[in-house]
Amino acid sequence: MNNSGTKVSKDINVYYAIFAGRKDVMHIHFQYTNIMLQLGLVTEVHVWDFTNGNTADYDYLTSFIRDTTLHGYRLFEKPSSQTIANQAQRASYLWYSFYEHYMNNKKYRREDILIKADDDIVYIHMSSFQAFVERVWNSNGSNVHFPNIINNDVGFVVQYDRVAYGASELRKWMAYYTDDPHQFKFKRLFKDFYDKFELSSVSPITSWKDGVYTRGDFGYDMHRVFLRNPSRYLHQLHISKLPRLVPFNKRISINMYAAKFDVIRAVYKLFLEEHCCEDEGFLGAYPTLTHNSHIIHVEFVVSHLAFGPQYNDQRIGQVRSEYEDIAALFTEEYGRRKSLVSYNLLSTNN
């Protein structure tokens, strides 16, 4: 793609797939996917209904898809039954249909790109989106590519080394996890493979017992560092002399990732046929199994609102409201300009 948002090649398709459904976050996420479709940054947005019986959320998704005037949205509903091998093992696996679809559907060509996103992605740095897609498309290995995710343990380590201004929260949490009693060696954790592969041993780099996913105060602090001055935060990443592509060989929360379809099919086949059905643990072990490191793209920033236990912190609702305001402002500016606007227009200090 070039700066106007047009594709490198008309033969390359980009499919953006969302594990959907909570309407309180999807209405934020859809503002970004609307612009992706309008600018031609993605070919289709696939909305996977994993509301799992929540009527209000399901009604929101179906009404949005029915009423949108944009071409490119597709709703995928979870099938009522699976005609698959080992059905007894997998019938209760909510997300099987997602993986099976992209593994087997011949519509998608090997050079096309799939981007998978959780529904609670509440900010996407759109000015870096097309560069992220280009780098994925130009990659030659079998790596899985990740954005720099706010409120994510791996993203936290990447951000700590690069976001210097006013980041007392980052320093606090780095000390918490590297001092006693944890003493985690993050540089080694990024580099080393697992000694052996068992899904039960593929733990987060900040541990199961006291990992960041359990800490609402961690999530709140990570969002505060970003929301205090988003444009300056992004500028710090841009001017950093540290590498912009960071290899990583351990478990990472799969809030968003991307790969070309030849890689996606190989990864999903290995997962469904040999290591089903804990997707995040499997993907964390993927570098150990194949010696293909994950790649984190430092300058492409997205915000993941919260892990389940973090919702116990009531301040998460405040954070969501601030992301709602940013998305609304971005949509308003896009409506006036019909192009990607400077992120400076979205700074909460302006």
Between residues 8 and 250, which one has the greater pLDDT?
Answer: 250
**Once rounded to an integer, what is the mean pLDDT over residues 301-311?**
97
Q: What is the pLDDT of residue 170?
A: 96
Q: Which residues of 61-87 are buried (b: 16+ CB within 10 A; e: fewer)?
A: beebbeeeeeebbeebeeeeebeeeee
**Once rounded to an integer, what is the mean pLDDT over residues 306-333?**
95
Q: How confident is the model at residue 80 (pLDDT cuts 50, 70, 90)?
A: low
* pLDDT over 70 (residue 99): yes
Q: What is the pLDDT of residue 9?
A: 56
Handedness of CA 103, 108, 113, 116 (dihedral sign): negative
Please write the tens of the pLDDT for every residue from 253-281. Answer: 999 999 999 999 999 999 999 998 889 99
Instruction: Report how far residue 15's alpha carbon sits from residue 12's, in angstroms, rounded to the nearest whole number.
Output: 10
Q: Are 246 and 80 in contact (CB under 8 A)?
A: no
Residue (of 164, 132, 160, 161) closest to 145 by Cα position: 132
Instruction: Report how far residue 77's alpha carbon sits from residue 10's, in angstroms, rounded to the nearest whole number.
Output: 29
**Once rounded to an integer, what is the mean pLDDT over residues 78-87?**
55
Q: What are the start-end ranges of the H helices in 22-128?
A: 23-39, 55-67, 87-90, 96-104
Q: What is the pLDDT of residue 10?
A: 62
**Once rounded to an integer, what is the mean pLDDT over residues 67-85?**
79
Q: How confident is the model at residue 7 (pLDDT cuts 50, 70, 90)?
A: very low
Please write the tens of the pLDDT for every residue from 141-165. Answer: 999 999 999 999 999 999 999 998 7
Query: Which residues 6+ apart lie within 8 Å of 98 measured at CB?
Result: 17, 19, 48, 76
Q: Which one is the CATH code of 14-346: 3.40.10, 1.10.10, 3.90.550, 1.10.3470? A: 3.90.550
Q: Which of 119-128, 165-174, 326-335 has the highest mean pLDDT?
A: 119-128
**Once rounded to an integer, what is the mean pLDDT over residues 87-103?**
77
Query: 38 forms bridges with which residues in the sheet?
Result: none
Q: How confident is the model at residue 341 (pLDDT cuts 50, 70, 90)?
A: low
**Once rounded to an integer, what is the mean pLDDT over residues 131-146?**
96
pTM equals 0.92
Instruction: Report how far residue 300's alpha carbon sits from residue 28's, in angstroms, rounded to the nearest whole number.
Output: 18
State the average pLDDT for the chain: 90
Residue 214, Ramachandran bin (φ over 0: left; ψ between -120 and 50: alpha; else beta): alpha
Instruction: Report how far residue 305's alpha carbon sits from residue 34's, in angstroms, rounded to the nearest whole number.
Output: 20
Q: Are 50 and 21 in contact (CB under 8 A)?
A: yes
Bridging pattern class, strands 113-118 and 256-260: antiparallel
* pLDDT over 70 (residue 340): no
Please write the tens of the pLDDT for every residue from 189-230. Answer: 999 999 876 777 799 999 999 999 999 999 999 999 999 999
